[in-house]
Structure 1
Amino acid sequence: MSNTHLSRRKFLHTTGLGAGAVLGFPAIVSGQNLNDRIRVAAIGVGGKGESDINNVAKCGCDIVGLCDVDAKTLGRMSKKYPKAKTFSDFREMLPKMDAEIDAVIVSAPDHIHGVAAIPAMQAGKHVYVQKPLAQTVWECRVMGDLAREKKLATQMGNQGSAAEGLRRSVEVIQTGVLGKPLELHVWTNRPIWPQGFERPSGSDPVPEHLDWDLWLGPAAERPYKNGIYHPFKWRGWTDFGTGALGDMACHTVNMPFRALKLGYPEKIECEMASKLFSETYPMTSRVRFDFPAREDLPPLKFWWYDGNPGDPFKPIMPYPELLKDIIALRGKTPKSGALIVFENGMLYSEDDYGRAFWVKTNDDKEFVSGTDHPLTRDAPQVIPRSPGHEQEWIDMMRDGTPAYSNFEIAAYLTEVILLGSIAQRVGEGLPIAWDGPNMKAKGNDAASALVKRPYRDGWAPQV
């Protein structure tokens, strides 16, 4: 599958990035009978999965299926939703419950997102998938195409999309009051999980409550080790996670990706890394994305910085000169955030979700709240406000109102972010020239090979 037919102009229009666009792609989803209760099955029911299920249930959905490879987690949620059928393998649940399911939530580890969501979408199920949308660029592309072709209601779980501050930031930036955007700097305090080491030797007995083979899913077989992979310690492994970029950039890059109409980069490079490992992401890194001119906007460079301040490898951060006014504003260096440098000033979007923002023009001495600055107060509101992140997905199923993080934009955003993860794996100081529509690195076989993962027998999506 390919979206080479999706031109940049059409992309900007259909995803709410272009001038005058409001929310998302047109209401192409067939609305469900408003008198019916939506029947939802969930894949991955612990951690974030638990809150996703609870939130959807609060929106009035019936939870009819629960699937998890950890029997303890599954048992706990089964007690809360006793009418739901339980499974350990979604490949069994989806066909068996086909006639009983309207929609599916996927909140398992990253390497399961695509392999679970794709067959659900092929079966015509509406889907809500936690961020990152998928583990690979190829899976994202397939999911975006399926959402469009099947006319499905979709939403990626980057909850900041529903925040007033994020939507207001997009509106303010697209008025052009700060001039042309020139640079983007985004940083995070992740990883907060183990990464930056080689695979430990040996093996440990698999806990009785865990189906290790199903947990591995599409990944190659490897021995189980206590405290190394499950639960939650999988994010730093290239076989299972997407590192700090995959974990947080779907949040922190969400607003600037929309507001700056970024689309595909033409080059990506891991400029610096603490140390590279064969199976895990580095403890800290700086990755640069070069975006070409688009519409009336000039070329732009985006730098991503990650690393946990509590680790021996201190994080690589933006230059102190860039952060000095933010430090003056907050009294310290924030753990995460996004800073956009414009011709006429800067905009700082706070925390992981962009719930608040500040503006400083070239004539200002300090940052001023984006809701109070004289330049921003009169920016028109053109983006509808959210009834709630999960409720947007429900509304899209009901009447076709597009969810703000539907796959038409979420797949595109995640594709771009995962290119940074590819750059980290290719190596420090090795730029990748990127052909976005065709998902290929120009003259770089190592990078092109990471666009799609190798699948273990029985796990490859049938596309």
Structure 2
Amino acid sequence: MAHIVHRVHAPTRDRQPGSPASGIGAGSRRSRTRSIVRMIHRPKPPQVRRRCFLRAAGVAAAAPFILPARARGANGRITMALLGSGSRGTADMRGFLDEDGIQVIAACDVQQDRRENLAKLVNDHYGANVCTAYRDFREVLQRDDVDMVLIAPQDHWHAVMAVMAAERGMDMYCEKPLGVSVRECQAIRDAVRRHGVVFQTGTQQRSQRNFRHACELARNGYLGAIHTVEVAAPGPHYQRKYKGPVGPQPVPENLDYEMYVGPAAMKPYNEGRLAWPDWYLIWDYCVGFITNWGVHHLDIALWGCPRLAQATFDLECTADYRNDGLCDNVNGWRATFAYADGLRMNFSDTDHPYEQGCKFIGDEGWVHVNRKGIKAEPESLLKQVMRPGEIHLHESEHHQHDLVESMRSRRDPVAPVEAGCRASYFGMIADIAARVRRPVRWDPVAERFENDAEASRLLVRPMRAPWSA
């Protein structure tokens, strides 16, 4: 069974003027033991018939998972650190700045200008020097006064950072997807549950009413029996920005390239490896938009039709792969998930052929939802109010606020780690089916391919030392 070993070396940091604010966890001592995180298969609920499942799911929605109580300081303040200060991390962090009782006290990035700019943004917001800039995330995790971390570096770093944060007892907001392999997604899930921390996946569509309404229509039978789900996400729309030579270049002085590469394969520095959206298109750092964008709408598909993740299915996927400069991961794709009872999920890049978003199709109607809006047939479904006794999904109108409330109540937020794990790896196994160029069969209970050694080998991504698997 695979495992990840963390070896921690002495980190360095850049400090802003002033000292870090004392946090909620100040004075507490979390264990700093570098433990081996073993990836285990968590048991899944048994398969049940559709109507029985709806009733059971309603009970689950009404009784969220309760996590162990954890002291958060006498003054009730929650301190947080940002790991990855790029555009996505900064946008996520802004959603916490105005939350009552939250204080951002650390900003980490391998690029000096990014971490310093982020620390200045935070300090200007508070009118005080409370946020310290760090180059190495390990030193942030060694602080005893950090209660929660926001994880938003490149995808290949997510699993290492999240597992280490869980070991330190820190709650998390983690950007999607949960890594670059199925095993990494499972490692995060298992560590979160083992250490009893609160975890919000960055699948923020769950905190938008239209997506919740579409899923409640599907789960409460307003569309009749669901027989088809159509999902599409952007793929070929994204093209590389860097057009220069692809050979080795000098590493910029403000960049710690060793820490940028981290657990990925070491390749000579080139500006194209750092550019946006170029790094999303490079296999070393990202599976591709089949997962990185696909995770959003696959998550909605699984939220509205849980059966998709509860029964064994046959999976076929065709795809073309980028061969443009440094870009080499999946470009466009078309996948079919086929179930024994006739249920199907069709998944493609946008408009080839499916419309971007998620569409639930039943024998009495359909509903389609994306970030532009929601539509349905019959149209009256858009005004449907869920009745008492029906399934009412977790209601959140603000993804960051929902996490803060969950940290205080010690209950799961709207996008718990299991949901993030599944939504992440559904895109990954589609990519694997395309790479082996033949149909595969996936058992979602055991979380494995059936009788397919070649496909199974692709569930694991090797990590470069000292981040080894």
The answer to whether the Cα contact below 8 Å between 1:396 and 1:403 also exists between their aligned partners in 2 is: yes
1:125 equivalenced with 2:183 (yes/no): no
Deviation at 1:174, TM superposition (A): 1.6
1:416 aligned partner: 426
Q: 348, 358, 371: which is aligned to 2:382?
A: 371
Please give the alpha-carbon distance, in whole angstroms, between the structure 1 residues aligned to 2:305 and 2:56: 8
Once the two structures are superposed, residues 149-200 of structure 1 have per-residue CA deviations (whole angstroms, 9 ceiling, x without a partner) of: 22211101111111111112222112212221111111223344337xxx97
Deviation at 1:218, TM superposition (A): 0.4
Q: TM-score, normalised by structure 1?
A: 0.81
Deviation at 1:148, TM superposition (A): 1.9
1:28 aligned partner: 67
Alignment CA distance shift 1:14-1:231 (3 Å): farther
Alignment CA distance shift 1:207-1:193 (3 Å): farther
Deviation at 1:418, TM superposition (A): 2.0
Please give the alpha-carbon distance, in whole angstroms, between the structure 1 residues aligned to 2:321 and 2:464: 29
Please give the alpha-carbon distance, in whole angstroms, between the structure 2 residues aligned to 1:114 and 1:136: 9
Provide the secondary structure at the position in 2 that maps to 1:83. coil
1:156 equivalenced with 2:201 (yes/no): yes
Please give the alpha-carbon distance, in whole angstroms, between the structure 1 residues aligned to 2:281 and 2:435: 12
1:400 equivalenced with 2:436 (yes/no): no
1:3 aligned partner: 41
1:67 equivalenced with 2:108 (yes/no): yes
1:446 equivalenced with 2:466 (yes/no): no
The answer to whether the Cα contact below 8 Å between 1:392 and 1:403 also exists between their aligned partners in 2 is: yes
1:388 aligned partner: 398
1:267 equivalenced with 2:314 (yes/no): yes
In structure 2, what residue type is equivalent to 1:181?
A: I
1:340 equivalenced with 2:360 (yes/no): yes
- Where in structure 1 are there 5+ consecutive unaligned residues? 293-297, 308-314, 319-333, 362-367
Deviation at 1:448, TM superposition (A): 1.3
The answer to whether the Cα contact below 8 Å between 1:43 and 1:106 also exists between their aligned partners in 2 is: yes
Deviation at 1:438, TM superposition (A): 3.9
Between 1:152-161 and 1:435-444, the stretch displaced more is 435-444
In structure 1, what residue type is equivalent to 2:442?
A: W
Q: What is the 5 A alignment of 1:10-409?
A: 18-22=57-61, 25-30=64-69, 32-33=71-72, 35-60=75-100, 61-81=102-122, 82-95=129-142, 97=143, 99-194=144-239, 202-261=247-306, 262-263=308-309, 265-271=312-318, 273-275=319-321, 280-292=328-340, 298-306=341-349, 316-318=352-354, 336-351=356-371, 356-361=373-378, 368=379, 370-372=381-383, 376-377=384-385, 379-380=387-388, 382-409=392-419
Please give the alpha-carbon distance, in whole angstroms, between the structure 1 residues aligned to 2:267 and 2:54: 40
Deviation at 1:51, TM superposition (A): 1.4
Q: TM-score, normalised by structure 2?
A: 0.80
The answer to whether the Cα contact below 8 Å between 1:26 and 1:402 also exists between their aligned partners in 2 is: yes
Please give the alpha-carbon distance, in whole angstroms, between the structure 1 residues aligned to 2:443 and 2:385: 39
1:436 equivalenced with 2:444 (yes/no): yes
2:435 aligned partner: 425
Alignment CA distance shift 1:276-1:108 (3 Å): closer
Please give the alpha-carbon distance, in whole angstroms, between the structure 1 residues aligned to 2:397 and 2:368: 25
Between 1:120-129 and 1:166-175, the stretch displaced more is 166-175
Please give the alpha-carbon distance, in whole angstroms, between the structure 1 residues aligned to 2:386 and 2:67: 33
Please give the alpha-carbon distance, in whole angstroms, between the structure 2 residues aligned to 1:139 and 1:153: 18
Deviation at 1:369, TM superposition (A): 5.9
The answer to whether the Cα contact below 8 Å between 1:15 and 1:23 also exists between their aligned partners in 2 is: no
Deviation at 1:358, TM superposition (A): 2.1
Provide the secondary structure at the position in 1 that maps to 2:89. helix
Once the two structures are superposed, residues 237-286 of structure 1 have per-residue CA deviations (whole angstroms, 9 ceiling, x without a partner) of: 22111211222222212222112112155222213x34576972232111
The answer to whether the Cα contact below 8 Å between 2:229 and 2:358 also exists between their aligned partners in 1 is: yes
Alignment CA distance shift 1:14-1:87 (3 Å): farther
The answer to whether the Cα contact below 8 Å between 2:265 and 2:464 also exists between their aligned partners in 1 is: yes
2:32 aligned partner: none
The answer to whether the Cα contact below 8 Å between 1:41 and 1:65 also exists between their aligned partners in 2 is: yes
Please give the alpha-carbon distance, in whole angstroms, between the structure 2 residues aligned to 1:436 and 1:174: 20
Please give the alpha-carbon distance, in whole angstroms, between the structure 2 residues aligned to 1:455 and 1:409: 24
- Where in structure 2 are there 5+ consecutive unaligned residues? 1-38, 123-128
1:458 aligned partner: 466
The answer to whether the Cα contact below 8 Å between 1:109 and 1:240 also exists between their aligned partners in 2 is: yes
Between 1:110-119 and 1:436-445, the stretch displaced more is 436-445
In structure 2, what residue type is equivalent to 1:65?
A: A
Please give the alpha-carbon distance, in whole angstroms, between the structure 1 residues aligned to 2:54 and 2:131: 35
Provide the secondary structure at the position in 2 that maps to 1:235. helix
The answer to whether the Cα contact below 8 Å between 2:288 and 2:331 also exists between their aligned partners in 1 is: no
Count of residue correspondences: 414
Please give the alpha-carbon distance, in whole angstroms, between the structure 1 residues aligned to 2:222 and 2:451: 40
In structure 1, what residue type is equivalent to 2:211?
A: L
Once the two structures are superposed, residues 335-358 of structure 1 have per-residue CA deviations (whole angstroms, 9 ceiling, x without a partner) of: x2222221222221133xxx7422
